[in-house]
Every structure is written in structure tokens, then in C-alpha cells.
Amino acid sequence: MLLGAKSAAVDWLVVGLGNPGAKYEHTRHNMGFLTVDLLAEQAGVKLNKVKFKSAYNIIPFAGAKCLVMKPQTYMNLSGESVGEAARFYKIPADHVVVISDDISLPVGKLRIRTGGSAGGHNGLKNIIQHLGSDKFPRIKVGVGSPKQAGFEVVDWVIGKPMGEDQKVLTDALDRVVTAVPVLISQGVDRAMNRFNRT
């Protein structure tokens, strides 16, 4: 019974990807961190618990108990945190929602998917390795192309959006915060139909 109770304690993982530390705050690569911070703020809680190599808290969405987490391992090792939490709570991959930046999408464009490859994103790649599956839903936030902007990829993603880009991304994060409970309560397909168009 103890194991059963433990496994039933959480229904979903909601993971925002980013890099810890003041140097990376509000950068393009931290769209996931910014989103889950906003989710927590709107729920009136702080992601101030520490376990699974992450900062987290449990937040209810649409009747489901969700462990909302920010891995503190740095981006390319995010799977260590996600895999540990998923194993502890016995959460299947299709109940792990991962929010990340995406340089292949225009600034502010959202793309929700049921699964798929990492698409060159090291955080997603590591999560796939640690979950042993790529069949987890993800919400990608477009941050624009570094090539079009004349930047190297690393400099672009750890840079801070300014001006109009900042405004567009702020609006995009508000849409992600709306999309998460829709995905959890109504399914990935419904969330895709509603939010991939905007």
C-alpha cells in the first residue's frame, strides 16, 4: 500500500527547462523556467521545494495533481532530474509535459507535440535518454533564428530578448500558462488544435 500511495501522489510532471543561476535569468534558453514560474505565481505557490535535483512544488490543475519542476542540473542534464521524479512517482512518459525554447520557430510561436525527436535541443535529448522514450508531450516556445539575427546559437539562446521580441515572448508565455491545464484536462490533441495556430 505504501508504494501504491506514493505512485498516486502525483498525476503529471510539468517540467520547465532552463539553466539555473542569475547569469541565465530571462534568457531565451530559459523559456521553460519562466513559464513554470508564472504557473506557480498564478497558483499562489513558490517552486521552493528541493528534490530530484530540481526546484519544485505540487500544483493542482483541473483536478490533477501536478509536480511542477525546474531541473537544477543545467539544460543538457535535465533528464537526470525528470527521470528521477518520473520513476519515484511512477509517471508514464505521456504524463510528462516538457516546456522548452525552440530556435527553429518564429519568436512567440507555440508548437505543442505528442512526442518526437529532440530536434537538436540538448535538454530534450537528455530527457529522452533518461525516460527511455520520446513519447512525452512538449510545448515549444519559438525564440527565433540565431542565423537570421547574425548570432552563433549559444550566444543567441543565452542572450536576453529585447524590445518587441521581449513583448512577444511575454505574450507567448501567457498562452503557454493557459495551454498547460488544457493539455492536462482535455488532451494533447485539443491543446494542439487550440494553441498551435497562434
Give the bridge partners for 111, in sequence order. Answer: 140
Residue pair 59/66 in contact by the 8 Å Cβ criterion: yes
Which residues in 62-84 are b (16+ Cβ under 10 Å) and which e? eeeebbbbbbbbbbebbbbbbbb
In the β-sheet with 64-71, what is the strand arrangement from edge to edge? 49-51, 54-61, 64-71, 12-16, 96-102, 138-142, 110-113
What residue type is assigned to position 79 of the chain? G
| Given 29, 95, 121, 130, the catalytic residue | 29
Cell numbers for 17? 527547462
- Under a CB-based contact definition with an 8 Å cutoff, are residues 54 and 72 in contact? yes
Find, among 181, 156, 188, the residue nearest to 61 by Cα. 181
Cell digits for 117? Answer: 525527436
Is 121 assigned a catalytic role? no
Residues labelled as active-site residues: 29
